[in-house]
Amino acid sequence: MNGIKLTSQTLIVLLLMLTAAGCGGGSIAMERGASKVPEVQVKAAGPEPEQPAESCNAIIEWVDFLMINGIKYQYNYEGTGKTADDQLGEKVGEVSYMLNDHACTDHVEKDGNAAFLPIGTEIFAMKGYKPEFRVIASNKVYEVMDNPKAATLGQLLDIEGKVDKVGLESAKDGSPIGDFSAEASAQFIQELLPLQHVGFNQVYEKIKHESGVFLRVHLLDGTSFRLVYYPEGNGFTAGAFGTDSLKALIMEQQAQIKAAAGLDK
């Protein structure tokens, strides 16, 4: 199978596969949680047809995403639960087009698009976070995947002062292995947030076919999200390259945690 053909339009919206290998809610997630970037062939984006699925001869597995105000979000199904009404902030938009059963592989995502949310679904800011980082729709937390206006990871991820700890997870099944020390967790976040946000496309060129280190950032409100770090390319799937000191910190903590857990590597 040929390698993935990525564009800014197709990066997180669709992954076309000949067999269904769903991840979470029936969709294949191109997310921070992938141990390797999936090698799939994606059709180049063209003019948006918004045609019914029956005219599309492809088998499509959509990422559970939405797009509003130029920002693409993905459902954080592993690190968040169903939201309550008192978590809803101001309304920031609503769904105007559902891709599932309606769009084909040449669809170009735009504001108001969602993979599985019906037309008219309201989108709200999430209290405690900037809407550029997290929003709520249909009682689910959608977390930023791509924000072209974010210059740093600190602007992409609204987590400064909100982190409890950083954990290490298995790259095989995502199960927890252990946690960074309190000092290492604080240093990790301190060095992570100033990193320049270059976008996933640039990082992908350096991390092709490389296995990643699964990290989970646990927030003070009990929610969490996954970051994957690729040491050879020194890159994060959040769309940034690390520093030498940050790489050393991650690899040192990984070695200590795995040794304590009785794992060789």
**For 143-157, b where at least 16 C-beta lie within 10 A, e where not — what string?**
bbbbbeebeebbbbb
Burial of 173 (0-12, 13-18, 19+ CB in 10 A): exposed
Give the residues across from 75 on adjacent strands: 142
Helix, coil or strand: residue 255: helix
Per-residue pLDDT at 265: 59
Segment-wise mean pLDDT, segments of 10 residues, the chain, 265 residues? 39 34 34 39 38 65 95 97 97 97 91 98 98 98 97 98 98 96 98 97 92 97 97 97 98 97 83
- pTM of the full structure: 0.80
Per-residue pLDDT at 57: 78
